[in-house]
Chain A
Amino acid sequence: MTMDRSRDVSQPVERLSGNERLKAASRRLRGDIVEGLADPVTGGISPEAQQLLKFHGSYQQDDRDLRDERRRQKLEPAYEFMVRVRLPGGVCRPDQWLKLDELARTYANGTLRLTTRQTFQFHGILKRDMRKTIQGMNQVLLDSIAACGDVNRGVMCSINPHLSALHQQVYELAKATSEHLLPRTRAYHEIWLEQEPVAGSGEEEEPIYGPTYLPRKFKIGFVIPPENDVDVYTQDLGFIAIVENGKLEGFNVTVGGGMGRADNEPGTYPRLADVAGFIRPDQVVRVAEEVVKIQRDYGDRVDRKHARFKYTIDDRGLDWFKDEIASRLGWRLEEPRPFVFTTNGDRYGWAQGDDGCWHYTLFVENGRVKDTADLQLMTALRTIAAVHEGEFRLTPNQNLIISRIKDTARARIQSLIEAYGLDSTVRRSVLRRNSMACVALPTCALAMAESERYLPQLVTKLEKVMAEHGLAEEPIIVRMTGCPNGCARPYVAEIAFTGRAPGKYNVYLGGGFHGQRLNRMLLENVGEPVILETLTPIIARYAKERVPGERFGDFVIRAGIIREVKEGRDFNG
């Protein structure tokens, strides 16, 4: 079979998308970022530098609440930067927490954002403070390299607090994978840490990526069943831990998941990953590298909307992938092993690991760590970090675990949790604790509607409906994003909303409770009154007609309210 290679890296860069030419000419991701930082006339940097900046873990944004007002004032948009930390598996030390907290209050908008991919984001950093922020992170051995951009992004890992030894093993692999897949360019060190260029600067070899890196972003997640907290099926590359008799035997490898789509473009769709085979723990890093290289070689570099690994897999087929990886490895993946997922949410409150350490999972609404009149969350966590000797873990649901607390320290942590009222957060409604929103307005340039600032209000209204129908204790996965790109993984939620315009959303139903099924659009471009009018009778029916144990997402399909989506290509059908 002849292979169509007309859209991939084998072509001259002139035939590929503008971003490919930009990467090729960027001197290994340097471009004119340094010049842009030095330009005193604008708070921003050039459009080309903005593209390259992503590879350094940052986006140029602007305060969209002020955009129109400033235009009239003959001022440029209030440019500011988001910086995303690279934090494999979401694990950080207390001294690192304290530093990030300090940087957030000194240079960012005074808050820390825990993300859906288990890391921190700073928002609102001014151009002149960018180096100071990144150098501050560097002081505690944190960086933002490849946290965004057309490379392997932050690697996720289940936070399972019960199986401590297993978590440690899988986490170490996640970290090793993240380190191994880092770009080799020293651009980051030169630009942000102001290190002197060494020989070969601008021409560094990129043994894994090559000079044009990947066609698009690439996401990896490690998951420990039965909790599918990382939503492994939404990852480009996933590793499902297979544990037999308490021992980590290896991983089922999943390929080709991804959320992003565009409105009115039926060629774009979310896709759940396929399970491709089984590998041993010592084969993980090698397999990750080869999968990344397959996407490097065959991914679509002409159309960025068709450049994710999911389309490469869908266009060429899983069998092609299995053959391709086998030819690169010199051996075939083994047959997948059985596993079972039951949920993708977090369990809150105290839990004890098998090593005797304690873990306290906090609910952090939409991942925003800040002080409000009601809850001094940021101050509380700073106080805890100052005395805590274990670690913190950021969950894939934007929550936080105060982790690895020794038996002797538990009482002290508990008293701080109580003193600041953090225990109240884990008593929020089940619906709220299973809800998740992306950042959206006012900082994200892609947002078309509110998300983080609005979902809590909508949940309050849905809570009322749930309570009226006796469903107050019933978990439903609710997710919202401000645009169709899917940062909060909306397309696997049981109820999802994606923004279309201020106050207007698409509504989706029927995702699987543990992320095993895509949902489908029920309503297009509607406002809150229509959302509530439509959902209320469906929730009422669920209360009356469900069979014991039946999840909401399963019910709406069985009841014929929405047609099941069997695969990504069927999403728009």
Chain B
Amino acid sequence: MAVVHCIPGKQPLLVTKPDASSQTWTGPLSPEQAAQLEALVGTLTAEQALWVSGYLAGYNARARVAAPATAVVPTAQPVTILYASETGNAASLAKKLNERAKAKGLATKLLDIADYRVKDLKGERFLVVVTSTQGEGEPPTSAADFYEFLHGRKAPRLEGLKFAVLGLGDSTYEHFCQTGKDIDTRLEALGAVRMVERVDCDVDYEAPATGWIDRLLDQLVRELPPAEAKIVAFPHVAAPAVAAEPLYDRTNPFQATVLENLRLTGRGSSKEIRHVEISLEGSGLTYEPGDSLGILPQNDPELVGELIASLGLEGRPDLQEALGRDYEITTLTGRFLAGWAELSGAKALKELVADPAAQKAWLHGREIIDVVSAFPVPGIDAATFTGLLRKLPPRLYSLASSQAANPDEAHIVVSTVRYDSHGRSRKGVASTMLADRVRPDDTLPVYINANRHFRLPTDPDAPIVMIGAGTGVAPYRAFMQEREERGAKGRSWLFFGERNFRTDFLYQVEWQRWLKDGVLSRIDLAFSRDQAEKVYVQHRLLERAAELWAWLEEGAHLYLCGDAEQLAPDVHAALLRIVAEQSGRGPEQAAEYLKTLQREGRYQRDVY
């Protein structure tokens, strides 16, 4: 999907490129194309411009062109200076460089590398890194994310980038200035062009560092005559109105490469919740916050083997494959039970089939393997067995990412299901596949499952209240990414619950950053097992009743995501109580109030 963001008539489309030739810069377009485009755009109304942007988006999607989500328009950051400091030396040198560059009229942006958004790297034109090195050649803590991104499989090509690196270190260490060397080498390998040679400074860094700064500034002035830098930023327009036909769906899934698969819950957690990132690059797949990712899982080969052995059907690779890929071999259905009662002739099974209440109780915690091994059917053929089975359904996971923020990626949050029952260890089909058998660089068959009933307000200024527990936090991460990316101004409030603060605060550092940056306005947390009495999300809602009511009255949109059995009814009851108590409504009117919100799309739920 490609969206050209512009408002015709108000801003020029083309930007003067800050270089010596003083020619207009036309991005990827030829000057002729740019002129044609500008001529057309100049005649469009806002509505027409919106349509055109949608048209282009759809055009690109149909052409299966993998393109960035937004046409990159240069913004006012010609020289980005990053420092990675342990003791403050790198920071002070970077500051010195920054001041001297400014004195020369160069536009600069100085950042602690810890605060740098790695996804901005692709759009940089001039990058300067001043970095120290830790003990055994590792990057300073503040640079760990940057370093990892740069050296990871998600690092972008950087042909358009010019860079310079200054390393600080201590030559008594074996891996002297290693981080500087690594970053320098890697930037070049990614296609970036070195402006001045790297210098590796020892403990007495002053003189060599000053020399390097002198050379760099000379070069920058040659590259970037200060007076020429004329910068125009383009505001965003709403998303395109034309949606492209999905290219892949559950019957024709996209074979997506796994980029990342890690445990989110910290050591010592009672939960195993994982973060999985997959690449959508080249798929043309698009999604919006609130949508889900469909995954076609496979069964545990061990369980397949055990089942085949129980059936006495060993030595059938085709059956092994079919049971692994096509059939649901865990969940026990009434139909299977009835069929197996017939085949086995087992009296106990027949009695169960005749007594629905007893059957329900018996099924609890049991799977197909329990029946097959307890009531063998000697000589059964494969087709008879598979005839009793259902197709293996895909699993849906709420997307935890915004495509605007991560153009070629989809992130999901998965709680791994493992438990023991009736003397066996049970494993969730898809969750343990992801936990135990899927590694980065593997592929997964996936598709996008749109959810039009869980959407951010179209008005970016509308307040939102996000209520979730456990993996229910996933769409809210997508919401925040989206709102941050779009520069939405609406207030936002997260209620999140899990078991333990120390290990289970999913995406903790991201929430902290959004809170600090004002993308998230408020947060309330309920960790049920950190104190003697259990505290859940609904308790926090009730504690904040007055403020919550005020938000609702100011037009806030309410979202609820997570467990359908416990969380959803408890939260709904709390909301009813809040509405009744705060507004003086009776129970029925309070229910009516929430129903109205639901009808208006201001109370949306994604429960499972």
Interface residues of A (CB under 8 A from B): 40-43, 66-76, 78, 126, 128, 263-264, 448-449, 500-504, 524-525
Judge whether B509 is part of the interface by a CB distance below 8 angstroms: yes
Q: Which residue from chain A places its CB closest to the CB of B512 in the assembled complex?
A: A41
CA A43 – CA B501 in complex, angstroms? 8
Whether A525 contacts B530 by the Cβ 8 Å rule is no
CA A264 – CA B170 in complex, angstroms? 9
Which chain A positions have C-beta within 8 A of B511? 41
Q: A42-B512, A501-B135 are in contact. Are A75 and B173 (CB under 8 A)?
A: no
Q: Which residue from chain A places its CB closest to the CB of B526 in the assembled complex?
A: A40
CA A40 – CA B502 in complex, angstroms? 11
Q: A41-B512, A66-B267 are in contact. Are A71 and B145 (CB under 8 A)?
A: yes
20 intermolecular pairs with C-beta atoms under 8 Å apart: A40-B523, A40-B525, A41-B512, A41-B515, A66-B267, A69-B266, A73-B264, A73-B265, A73-B275, A74-B507, A75-B266, A75-B508, A76-B508, A78-B502, A264-B203, A500-B172, A500-B173, A501-B173, A502-B135, A504-B135
Which chain A positions have C-beta within 8 A of B507? 74
Whether B135 contacts A128 by the Cβ 8 Å rule is no
Which chain B positions have C-beta within 8 A of A500? 135, 172-173
Judge whether B72 is part of the interface by a CB distance below 8 angstroms: no
Q: Which residue from chain B places its CB closest to the CB of A527 in the assembled complex?
A: B174
Whether A43 contacts B502 by the Cβ 8 Å rule is yes
Whether A74 contacts B135 by the Cβ 8 Å rule is no
B248-273 interface code vs A (CB 8 A; 1 in, 0 out):
00000000000000111111000000
Cβ 8 A contact of B262, one of A66, A68, A72, A525: A72
Whether A74 contacts B203 by the Cβ 8 Å rule is no
Count of A-B contacts judged by CB separation below 8 Å: 71
Known: A75-B505, A448-B135, A501-B134. 14 other contacts (CB 8 A): A40-B501, A40-B525, A41-B511, A41-B515, A43-B501, A43-B502, A66-B266, A71-B144, A72-B262, A73-B262, A75-B264, A75-B266, A449-B135, A502-B136
Which chain B positions have C-beta within 8 A of A41? 508, 511-512, 515, 523, 525
CA A69 – CA B262 in complex, angstroms? 10
CA A107 – CA B524 in complex, angstroms? 25
Cβ 8 A contact of B144, one of A68, A75, A448, A502: A68
Which chain B positions have C-beta within 8 A of A264? 170, 203
CA A66 – CA B267 in complex, angstroms? 8
Distance (whole angstroms) from the CB of B186 to the closest CB of chain A = 19
Distance (whole angstroms) from the CB of B524 to the closest CB of chain A = 8
Which chain B positions have C-beta within 8 A of A43? 501-502
Judge whether B99 is part of the interface by a CB distance below 8 angstroms: no
Which chain B positions have C-beta within 8 A of A75? 264, 266, 503, 505, 508-509
Whether A74 contacts B264 by the Cβ 8 Å rule is yes
Which chain B positions have C-beta within 8 A of A40? 501, 523-525
CA A74 – CA B262 in complex, angstroms? 10
Q: Within residues 495 to 525 of chain B, which ones have a CB less than 8 A from any CB in chain A?
A: 501-503, 505-512, 515, 523-525
Whether B173 contacts A525 by the Cβ 8 Å rule is yes
Most chain A Cβ neighbours within 10 Å, of B144, B145, B505: B505
Cβ 8 A contact of B530, one of A76, A128, A503: A128
CA A503 – CA B136 in complex, angstroms? 9
CA A219 – CA B178 in complex, angstroms? 39
CA A308 – CA B275 in complex, angstroms? 49
CA A18 – CA B237 in complex, angstroms? 45
Q: Which residue from chain A places its CB closest to the CB of B202 in the assembled complex?
A: A264
CA A28 – CA B406 in complex, angstroms? 48
Interface residues of B (CB under 8 A from A): 134-136, 141, 144-145, 170, 172-173, 203, 262-267, 275, 501-503, 505-512, 515, 523-525, 530
Q: Which residue from chain B places its CB closest to the CB of A42 in the assembled complex?
A: B512
Q: Which residue from chain B places its CB closest to the CB of A70 in the assembled complex?
A: B266
Give the secondary structure class of A's interface: loop
Q: Which residue from chain A places its CB closest to the CB of B144 in the assembled complex?
A: A71
Distance (whole angstroms) from the CB of A154 to the closest CB of chain B = 29
Which chain A positions have C-beta within 8 A of B501? 40, 43
Whether B203 contacts A69 by the Cβ 8 Å rule is no
CA A73 – CA B508 in complex, angstroms? 9
Which chain A positions have C-beta within 8 A of B523? 40-41
Which chain A positions have C-beta within 8 A of B145? 71
Cβ 8 A contact of A73, one of B173, B203, B263, B525: B263
Distance (whole angstroms) from the CB of B415 to the closest CB of chain A = 15
CA A41 – CA B506 in complex, angstroms? 12
Q: Which residue from chain A places its CB closest to the CB of B525 in the assembled complex?
A: A40
Whether A69 contacts B135 by the Cβ 8 Å rule is no
Which chain B positions have C-beta within 8 A of A42? 512
Which chain B positions have C-beta within 8 A of A70? 266
Q: Which residue from chain A places its CB closest to the CB of B506 in the assembled complex?
A: A74
Q: Which residue from chain A places its CB closest to the CB of B275 in the assembled complex?
A: A74
Q: Which residue from chain B places its CB closest to the CB of A449 in the assembled complex?
A: B135
Whether B172 contacts A74 by the Cβ 8 Å rule is no
CA A406 – CA B265 in complex, angstroms? 54
Whether A126 contacts B525 by the Cβ 8 Å rule is no
CA A71 – CA B267 in complex, angstroms? 12
CA A443 – CA B502 in complex, angstroms? 16
Which chain B positions have C-beta within 8 A of A78? 266, 502
Q: Which residue from chain B places its CB closest to the CB of A262 in the assembled complex?
A: B87
Distance (whole angstroms) from the CB of B272 to the closest CB of chain A = 12
Q: Which residue from chain A places its CB closest to the CB of B137 in the assembled complex?
A: A501
Distance (whole angstroms) from the CB of A446 to the closest CB of chain B = 12
Most chain B Cβ neighbours within 10 Å, of A70, A72, A73, A76: A73
CA A68 – CA B144 in complex, angstroms? 9
Which chain A positions have C-beta within 8 A of B502? 43, 78, 126
CA A524 – CA B510 in complex, angstroms? 41
Most chain B Cβ neighbours within 10 Å, of A41, A128, A500: A41
Whether A74 contacts B173 by the Cβ 8 Å rule is no
Which chain A positions have C-beta within 8 A of B505? 75
Whether A74 contacts B508 by the Cβ 8 Å rule is yes
Distance (whole angstroms) from the CB of B533 to the closest CB of chain A = 14
Which chain B positions have C-beta within 8 A of A126? 502
CA A457 – CA B228 in complex, angstroms? 65
CA A43 – CA B525 in complex, angstroms? 13
Distance (whole angstroms) from the CB of B551 to the closest CB of chain A = 19
Whether B512 contacts A73 by the Cβ 8 Å rule is no
Distance (whole angstroms) from the CB of B554 to the closest CB of chain A = 24
Whether B525 contacts A74 by the Cβ 8 Å rule is no
Which chain A positions have C-beta within 8 A of B262? 72-73
CA A69 – CA B264 in complex, angstroms? 10
Which chain A positions have C-beta within 8 A of B170? 263-264
Distance (whole angstroms) from the CB of A159 to the closest CB of chain B = 37
Which chain A positions have C-beta within 8 A of B265? 73
CA A501 – CA B506 in complex, angstroms? 32
Distance (whole angstroms) from the CB of B497 to the closest CB of chain A = 12
Distance (whole angstroms) from the CB of B333 to the closest CB of chain A = 38
Distance (whole angstroms) from the CB of A491 to the closest CB of chain B = 19
CA A126 – CA B502 in complex, angstroms? 9
Q: Which residue from chain A places its CB closest to the CB of B516 in the assembled complex?
A: A41
CA A76 – CA B509 in complex, angstroms? 6
CA A525 – CA B175 in complex, angstroms? 12
Q: A41-B511, A264-B203 are in contact. Are A69 and B267 (CB under 8 A)?
A: yes
Which chain B positions have C-beta within 8 A of A448? 135
Q: Which residue from chain A places its CB closest to the CB of B170 in the assembled complex?
A: A264
Distance (whole angstroms) from the CB of A502 to the closest CB of chain B = 6
Distance (whole angstroms) from the CB of B98 to the closest CB of chain A = 20
Which chain A positions have C-beta within 8 A of B173? 500-501, 504, 525
Q: A43-B502, A68-B144, A524-B172 are in contact. Are A74 and B510 (CB under 8 A)?
A: yes
Whether B266 contacts A73 by the Cβ 8 Å rule is yes
CA A473 – CA B173 in complex, angstroms? 37
CA A535 – CA B523 in complex, angstroms? 58
Distance (whole angstroms) from the CB of B173 to the closest CB of chain A = 6
Q: A501-B135, A524-B172 are in contact. Are A76 and B512 (CB under 8 A)?
A: yes
Q: Which residue from chain B places its CB closest to the CB of A127 in the assembled complex?
A: B501
CA A36 – CA B145 in complex, angstroms? 26
Top 3 nearest A-B pairs by Cβ distance?
A: A501-B135, A525-B172, A264-B203
CA A126 – CA B530 in complex, angstroms? 11
CA A69 – CA B265 in complex, angstroms? 10
